[in-house]
């Protein structure tokens, strides 16, 4: 019984972070149909920026998030101008070119990080990093709790943004039905720029949060990227709730495996990847019509 | 237009075979690496270029070849006799992965292959049977560089010939049809999954052969080297930079890559800039010339042709 | 006269989520017929062809071709049995030459030709469809009329027993339409049964032996052209439609 509680608590806490991570990917895909592999690099960058703010200026990482978010939003808009615009294809589905191009951006970001920060493993050690708290009888690290809090705040803020502002509604509209939205006068360029900005901002936030939990190197981010894909496939990307649900499912599966089986931690990533693989292949109908994965059972033409 | 590259190729092949009589060991090592690049790039191109299914998990096949050779050699089998088994295992594995994965389209297939590649790497590093993360060392003795060099060069020549043969065959046409319009191909009778599986298995087998030769030459293999994601990455970049879907493209790409890598390693300050190199090349190619060097060449030739003649409908060389 | 129809469709339905595109459609096609399929936009005609040839799995119903059930089979499997379709929106392999396009059909269709045999077959078909002068040209540079003929050529290369032509006359000028009608007749005369969807109602009426009329996914009439043009339900379905008004003299 205590194991169940432990799985529940840990999963919930992890889900917040995962949702933040996945949302960044989802919004860019939803609006522009671009699979942004650079997302991993942006998370890594978010971790390093948070680290630098902490290391150089003594800024608490969670306070630093308030700076990182807007900063990365601007970075995203800039990236959109530079690279994203040329990528935006008209609704015909994601292209290999965009995948490979964002992949290239990811590699460049990695190399830049190597130059600026060196390849040494970094981590953030604050006064509360090693402290823990008991929740429902489960020992939980303080950083994990704070990460959950920060995620919850960001996601709620995001949800409000999406539901009340014009741009937010436009983003939801384009994600659900691109052609109809564009026909009704939505400015494709502004929406794409906003989406890119949001996606990058959430990548940066996720990275900042991850930096408080894990040690990191410029190579950091690949396994989280794959988890993010898994989440989007599981929960869809048309709403923040969908992403949250997918994040929760993944977190429960991971924690469940860790607690109830003797699978070694080094294997856990392999498990997540296999899960991604199976998830991508095994869900024909059922999931909100996101990735049209299936061959001939699809469109008429 | 096709006779030209073919004759270049023949000259290059002859030169490569004659090289050990003329060049010194250091250069021969570089040529060996170039040959490896040509094999990997040409093999990948069968599925990735001809059929248009981009897999980022090919290091798995290299690793399967390398590990099969290492494990069997450590049990007393002559290293070169292990080659067919490694190729067979890689082909079988490619089918096991392909059966579910080929139900995915385009980029989703690619993402799935990233997952597979990573899962294989992590598994190899966690299991003691494969020597864990420490890797395996080949049994001592019987290292013969000249034999290694020739086997690699011969395999490289065979890979390119194979690619050319596939390209002009009915099989190749089916792959091209699949790449351009998979539903249209199926509507004409092409069982697309069967062809994808076949191309995948063929290329996996060739890559595994290279992996076996890799193990024989380097004498030491570890998951970090043969199952590395960066390796999967360079396997993909070479044909893309050179010209995906052509026969000459992978060769050109391998050449460009080898040269750049050698130059990079020579300058200490740039030694770690390979990611910048890979990433930059990818970005440039995708933004400006998705068809790579061969595509660029053809564009320039077409422009030169039409510059001299009256404006008419553009007739492209669909070779 | 063989008793068994070449193609028999019973209670065919296709649902896309909330939309019922085909609703209990039934009809039969005899060997050697030219069988027209007409109906207003959105009537389900292309969906019907897609279900017949395996591009889409039917939600319900039975399709029999040459006596055996083919509903639920994949496209390649259906093509192997001799039933092939063309597409309303042409989809050539743009980076391949015209003859390579046609050879895909020759190699992998029901005929399964190889080598010199395949090349000969391809040349024959290019002659018949008037594409021989464009054989080595890249398909991406053809005109719309040529592309329509290429669609037909590729399908014919599979050596079908029956061919489903989906709006092959769309976008053609009147003289091209006459040419298309002649081609369709020659296909039938060569022994291939033809099903055709057309919006040019007078062309369909002029060339078909029998016609099926669909509206809102349902069959509203089936019979010889003379009866169809007089059928009050058919006329009603086309009232307010922009297509050419149906004439009794075809």
CATH number at residue B69: 1.10.3470
What is chain C's mean pLDDT, rounded? 90
Band (A237; pLDDT cuts 50, 70, 90) = low
At B233-249, the pLDDT tens digits run 889 989 999 999 899 99
B186–C74 CB contact, under 8 Å:
yes
Radius of gyration (Cα) for chain C, nearest Å? 18
Residues C64, C75 within the same domain: yes
B119, A93: Cβ pair inside 8 Å? no
The three-state (H, E, C) secondary structure of B302-314, written as one string: HHHHHHHCCCCCC
Q: How far is B145 from chain A (nearest CA, A)?
A: 35
C4 in a domain, yes or no? yes
Do B215 and B66 form a contact (C-beta atoms < 8 A)?
A: yes
| Partner residue facing C138 (CB), from B189, B192, B315 | B315
Q: Is B119 an 8 Å CB contact of chain A?
A: yes
Q: What is the pLDDT of residues A246-285, one digit of tens each?
A: 888 888 888 887 777 776 666 777 777 777 677 767 764 3
Kindly state the tokens that stand for A102.
Answer: 């964002």
Within a domain: A99: yes
Q: Is A199:A36 a contact under the CB 8 Å cutoff?
A: yes
| Per-residue confidence band for C83, with pLDDT thresholds at 50, 70 and 90 | very high
- Which of C1 and B17 is assigned the larger pLDDT? B17
What's the DSSP call for residue A216? Answer: B
Residue C5 in any domain: the answer is yes
Contact yes or no for A296 and C75 at CB 8 A: yes
In this predicted structure, the answer to whether residue A76 has a pLDDT above a threshold of 60 is yes
CB of B24 less than 8 A from some CB of C: no
Residue C97 — very low, low, confident or very high, per pLDDT cuts 50/70/90? very high
Confirm whether C87 is domain-assigned: no
Domain range holding C61?
1-82+161-173+180-250
**Domain range spanning residue B129?**
3-308
Q: What is the pLDDT of residue B2?
A: 59
Chain C residues whose CB is inside 8 A of the A295 CB are: none
How many structural domains compose chain C?
A: 2
| A78, B116, C27, C199, C203 from C226: Cα distances, Å | 67, 62, 18, 17, 13
**Domain-located, residue B313:** no
**pLDDT value, residue A291:** 42
Does residue B173 lie within any of the structural domains? yes
CATH label of the domain that carries residue A256? 1.10.3470
Q: Which residues contact B3 (CB under 8 A, 6 or more apart)?
A: none
| Per-residue pLDDT at A240 exceeds 80 | no
B241 within a domain of the structure (yes/no): yes
Same domain, C29 and C111: no
Per-residue pLDDT, A300:
32
Query: What tokens does B151 get?
Result: 């086997």
- Give the HSE-up count for residue B28: Cα atoms under 13 Å, Cβ half-sphere: 18
What tokens does A134 get?
A: 């008991």
Number of domains in chain B: 1
Task: Kindly indicate the confidence band of residue C222, based on its pLDDT and cuts at 50, 70 and 90.
Answer: very high
Residue range A163-212, pLDDT digits in tens: 888 888 888 888 777 778 878 887 878 888 899 999 999 999 999 999 98
- For residues C48 and C17, membership in a common domain is answered with yes
b/e for B228-257, b at 16 or more Cβ within 10 A? beebbbbbbbbbbbbbbbbbbbbbbbbbbb
B169 touches chain C (CB under 8 A): no
Name the residue in chain A with its Cα closest to that of C87. A301
Please report, rounded to a whole number, the percentage of residues in chain A having pLDDT higher than 90: 14
For residue A20, being part of any structural domain is answered with yes
**How much of chain B, in percent, has pLDDT values that exceed 70?**
94
C245: pLDDT confidence band, cut at 50, 70 and 90? Answer: low
| pLDDT tens by residue, A89-143 | 544 456 677 888 888 888 889 888 888 888 788 888 887 778 888 877 788 888 8
Degrees to nearest 5, angle at CA A223 with A246 and A192: 65
Tell me the percentage of chain C whose pLDDT exceeds 90: 73
Residue B314 lies inside a defined structural domain of this protein: no
Q: So what's the pLDDT on residue A87?
A: 67
Please report which confidence band the pLDDT of residue A290 belongs to, taking 50, 70 and 90 as the band edges: very low
Q: How many domains does chain A have?
A: 1
Name the residue range of residue A141's domain. 2-282
Better-predicted residue by pLDDT, C144 or B195: B195
Flag whether C112 is in a domain: yes
Interface test with B, best of C95, C150, C159 (most B CBs within 10 A): C95
Candidates B50, B170, B178, B189: best to mutate against C (most CBs of C within 10 A) is B189
Position B316 scores a pLDDT of 46
User: What's the pLDDT at A255?
Assistant: 82
Least confident stretch, A201-210, A282-291, B8-17, C87-96? A282-291
pLDDT at A259: 77
- Structural domain includes residue B14: yes
Instruction: State the average pLDDT over residues B89-110.
Output: 88
pLDDT averaged over every residue in chain B: 87
Contact A300 C47 (CB under 8 A): yes
Per-residue pLDDT reduced to its tens digit, B174-228: 999 999 999 999 999 999 999 999 999 999 999 999 999 999 999 888 888 888 8
Calculate mean pLDDT across residues B144-172. Answer: 94
> Inter-chain contact C93–B177, Cβ cutoff 8 Å?
yes
Contacts B233 to A, Cβ<8 Å: 107
- Name which of A295, B34, A79 is nearest C76 in CA terms: A295
- Among residues C16, C1, C34, C28, the alpha carbon closest in space to that of C205 is found at C34
The neighbours of chain C, by the rule of 3 or more Cβ pairs under 8 Å, are: A, B
Q: Which of A201, A202, A46 is closest to A109 using CA atoms?
A: A46
Cα-Cα-Cα-Cα dihedral sign, residues B67, B72, B75, B81:
negative
What's the confidence (pLDDT) of residue C124? 94
Report pLDDT for C184.
Answer: 94
Q: Mean pLDDT over residues B49-59, rounded? A: 92
Check residues A231 and A73 and name the one with the higher pLDDT. Answer: A73
Among A39-43, B36-40, C228-232, which stretch is predicted with the lowest mean pLDDT? C228-232
Question: Residue C60: which CATH number?
Answer: 3.40.50.300
pLDDT on residue C14: 94
Whether the ipTM is more than 0.95: the answer is no
**pLDDT of C1 higher than 70:** no
Contact B71/A at CB under 8 A: no
Average confidence (pLDDT) over A5-25: 88
Q: Test C114 with B170 for CB contact under 8 angstroms.
A: yes
Rounded Cα–Cα distance for residues A288 and A298 (Å): 14
Kindly state whether residue C194 falls inside one of the protein's structural domains.
yes
Average of per-residue pLDDT across B112-120? 83
| pLDDT value of position B139 | 83
A298 found inside a domain: no
What is residue A173's predicted lDDT score, i.e. its pLDDT?
A: 83
CA distances from B280 to A102, A106, A239, B290 (A): 11, 10, 34, 13
Minimum mean pLDDT range among B120-124, B310-314, C88-92, C93-97: B310-314
Q: Could you tell me the pTM of the whole model?
A: 0.85
What secondary structure letter does DSSP report for B79?
A: G
């Amino acid at each position: 019984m205590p194991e169940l509680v432990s799985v529940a608590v840990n999963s919930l806490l992890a889900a917040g972070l995962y949702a933040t991570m996945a949302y960044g990917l989802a919004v860019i895909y939803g609006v522009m149909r671009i699979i942004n592999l650079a997302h991993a690099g942006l998370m890594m960058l978010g971790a390093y920026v948070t680290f630098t703010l902490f290391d150089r200026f003594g800024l608490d990482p969670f306070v630093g998030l308030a700076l990182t978010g807007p900063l990365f939003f601007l970075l995203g808009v800039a990236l959109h101008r530079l690279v994203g615009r040329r990528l935006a294809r008209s609704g015909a589905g994601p292209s290999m070119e965009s995948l490979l191009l964002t992949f290239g951006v990811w590699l460049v970001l990695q190399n830049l990080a190597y130059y600026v920060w060196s390849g040494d493993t970094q981590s953030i050690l604050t006064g509360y990093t090693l402290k823990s708290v008991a929740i429902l009888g489960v020992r939980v690290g303080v950083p994990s709790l704070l990460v959950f809090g920060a995620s919850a705040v960001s996601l709620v803020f995001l949800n409000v943004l999406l539901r009340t502002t014009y741009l937010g509604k436009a983003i939801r509209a384009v994600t659900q039905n691109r052609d109809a939205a564009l026909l009704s006068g939505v400015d494709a360029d502004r929406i794409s720029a906003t989406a890119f900005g949001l996606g990058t901002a959430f990548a940066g936030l996720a990275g900042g949060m991850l930096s408080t939990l894990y040690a990191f190197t410029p190579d950091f981010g690949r396994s989280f990227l794959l988890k993010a894909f898994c989440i989007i496939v599981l929960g869809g990307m048309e709403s923040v709730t969908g992403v949250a649900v997918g994040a929760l499912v993944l977190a429960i599966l991971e924690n469940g495996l860790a607690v109830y089986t003797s699978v070694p931690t080094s294997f856990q990533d392999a498990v997540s990847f296999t899960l991604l693989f199976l998830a991508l292949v095994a869900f024909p109908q059922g999931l909100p019509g996101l990735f049209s994965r299936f061959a001939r059972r699809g469109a008429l033409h | 237009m096709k006779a030209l590259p073919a004759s270049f190729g023949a000259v290059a092949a002859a030169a490569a075979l004659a090289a050990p009589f003329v060049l010194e060991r250091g250069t021969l090592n570089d040529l060996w690496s170039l040959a490896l690049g040509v094999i990997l790039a040409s093999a990948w191109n069968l599925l990735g270029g001809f059929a248009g299914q981009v897999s980022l998990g090919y290091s798995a096949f290299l690793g399967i070849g390398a590990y099969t050779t290492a494990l069997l050699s450590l049990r007393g089998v002559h290293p070169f006799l292990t080659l067919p088994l490694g190729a067979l295992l890689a082909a079988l594995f490619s089918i096991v992965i392909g059966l579910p994965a080929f139900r995915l389209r385009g980029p989703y297939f690619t993402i799935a292959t990233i997952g597979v590649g990573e899962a294989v790497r992590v598994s190899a590093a966690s299991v003691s049977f494969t020597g864990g993360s420490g890797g395996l060392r080949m049994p001592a003795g019987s290292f013969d560089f000249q034999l290694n060099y020739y086997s690699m060069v011969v395999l490289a020549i065979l890979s390119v010939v194979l690619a050319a043969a596939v390209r002009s065959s009915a099989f190749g046409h089916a792959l091209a049809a699949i790449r351009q319009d998979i539903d249209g191909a199926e509507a004409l009778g092409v069982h697309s999954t069967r062809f994808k599986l076949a191309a995948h298995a063929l290329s996996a087998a060739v890559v595994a052969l290279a992996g076996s030769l890799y193990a024989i030459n380097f004498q030491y293999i570890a998951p970090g080297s043969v199952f590395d994601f960066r390796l999967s990455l360079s396997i993909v970049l070479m044909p893309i930079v050179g010209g995906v879907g052509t026969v000459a493209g992978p060769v050109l790409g391998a050449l460009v890559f080898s040269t750049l890598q050698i130059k990079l390693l020579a300058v200490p300050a740039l030694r770690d800039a390979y990611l910048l190199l890979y990433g930059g090349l990818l970005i440039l190619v995708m933004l400006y010339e998705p068809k790579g060097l061969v595509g660029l060449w053809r564009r320039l030739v077409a422009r030169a042709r039409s510059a001299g003649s009256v404006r008419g409908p553009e007739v492209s060389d669909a070779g | 006269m063989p008793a068994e129809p070449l193609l028999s469709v019973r209670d065919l339905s296709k649902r896309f989520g909330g939309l019922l595109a085909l609703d209990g459609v039934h009809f039969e096609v005899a060997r050697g017929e030219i069988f027209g399929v007409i109906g207003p936009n959105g009537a389900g005609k292309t969906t019907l062809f897609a279900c017949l040839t395996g591009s889409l799995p039917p939600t319900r119903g039975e399709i029999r071709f040459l006596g055996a059930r083919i509903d639920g089979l994949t496209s390649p499997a259906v093509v192997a049995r001799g039933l092939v379709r063309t597409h309303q929106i042409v989809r050539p392999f743009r980076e391949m030459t015209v003859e390579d396009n046609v050879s895909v059909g020759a190699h992998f269709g029901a005929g399964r030709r190889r080598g010199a045999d395949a090349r000969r077959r391809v040349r024959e078909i290019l002659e018949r469809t008037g594409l021989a002068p464009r054989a080595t040209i890249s398909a991406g540079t053809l005109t719309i009329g040529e592309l329509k003929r290429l669609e037909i050529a590729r399908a014919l290369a599979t050596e079908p027993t029956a061919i489903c032509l989906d709006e092959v006359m769309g976008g053609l000028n009147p003289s091209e339409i006459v040419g298309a009608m002649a081609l369709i007749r020659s296909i039938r005369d060569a022994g291939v049964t033809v099903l055709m969807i057309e919006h040019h109602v007078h062309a369909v009426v002029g060339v078909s032996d029998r016609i099926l009329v669909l509206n809102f996914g349902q069959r509203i009439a089936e019979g010889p052209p003379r009866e169809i043009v007089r059928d009050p339900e058919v006329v009603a379905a086309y009232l307010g439609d922009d297509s050419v008004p149906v004439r009794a003299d075809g």
